[in-house]
């Protein structure tokens, strides 16, 4: 039967050209492991290290520098965890739990000659399991039903809706009504129209000089007859006849 991640693509997370392997004494208490208890000046094996990932599981592989033959590997399903542990007195050394194909496991110590290599190894494992955690959260969100209440905008049985479409009455009243649809202007506020000019006013304006000459003639006639007409009323009547009707006077 195929195991989980057997047919998944294997990616390389980190490669370090030199790694030292140490045999460590059995753990007798829960106190922190110290690299000073190992024989650091005499490593039991030296090779290269490759960190790979297949699915959610990371693999720390110890290989021969020249041939690439696998010396030991440690499957890591979580970090930090029991598969890879740090020591209490140095950042360049770790405790690694290796396993064979039969499921047997053992604990060994590994160490880097440079602190930068140890830092890269630590970050590679952290980044991988951070990605695993994000993938798990996305899958849970996709599988979990949406428990938030949804807004029901559908019509119930027998429910209707009324729409009022049209212009308001106030807007219609604000526009003045035109008679006959000719668009005439409204009458002035006084309500009366000025009468058209009469023919008399027209003659007065068009013949001012003629009126002046007639007036002079009439005055001469009136003065010549002043001795024969004694009553005082004659002046009033002559004056009224003089200015009463210009159209009736013929030019001399």
Domains and CATH numbers, the chain: 10-143 (2.30.29.30)
Q: What is the mean pLDDT of residues 237-244?
A: 50
Q: Name the nearest CA neighbour of 34 among 114, 90, 113, 98.
A: 90
CA distance 46 to 21: 6
Going by pLDDT thresholds of 50, 70 and 90, the confidence category of residue 130 is very high
Going by pLDDT thresholds of 50, 70 and 90, the confidence category of residue 5 is very low
Cross-strand partners of 63? 48, 70
What sections of the chain are H helices per DSSP? 115-143, 169-173, 199-206, 208-224, 233-244
Least confident of 25-29, 59-63, 230-234: 230-234
**111 CA to centre of own chain:** 53
CA distance 203 to 244: 14
R_g (Cα) of the chain, nearest Å: 61
Q: What is the pTM of this model?
A: 0.55
Q: What share of the chain is helix, strand, coil (3-state, %, to 5)?
A: 30, 20, 50
In the chain, the N- to C-terminal Cα span, in Å, equals: 147
């Amino acid at each position: 039967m195929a195991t989980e991640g057997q047919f998944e693509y294997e990616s390389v997370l980190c490669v370090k050209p030199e790694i030292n392997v140490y045999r460590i004494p059995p753990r007798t208490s829960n106190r922190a492991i110290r690299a000073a208890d190992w024989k650091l000046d005499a490593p039991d094996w030296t090779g290269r290290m490759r960190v790979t990932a297949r699915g959610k599981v990371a693999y720390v592989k110890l290989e021969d520098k020249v041939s690439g033959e696998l010396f030991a590997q440690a499957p890591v399903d979580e970090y930090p965890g029991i598969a890879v542990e740090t020591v209490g007195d140095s950042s360049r050394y770790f405790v690694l739990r290796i396993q064979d194909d039969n499921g047997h496991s053992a604990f060994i110590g590994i160490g880097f000659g440079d602190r930068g290599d140890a830092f890269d190894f630590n970050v590679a494992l952290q980044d991988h399991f951070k990605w695993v955690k994000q993938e798990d959260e996305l899958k849970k969100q996709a599988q979990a039903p949406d428990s938030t209440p949804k807004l029901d905008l559908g019509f119930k049985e027998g429910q209707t809706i009324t729409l009022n479409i049209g212009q308001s009455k106030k807007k219609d009243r604000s526009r003045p009504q035109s008679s006959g649809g000719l668009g005439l202007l409204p009458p002035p506020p006084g309500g009366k129209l000025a009468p058209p000019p009469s023919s008399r006013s027209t003659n007065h304006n068009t013949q001012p000089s003629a009126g002046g000459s007639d007036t002079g003639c009439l005055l001469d006639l009136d003065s010549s007859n002043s001795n024969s007409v004694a009553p005082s009323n004659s002046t009033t009547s002559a004056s009224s006849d003089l200015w009463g009707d210009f159209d009736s006077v013929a030019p001399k």
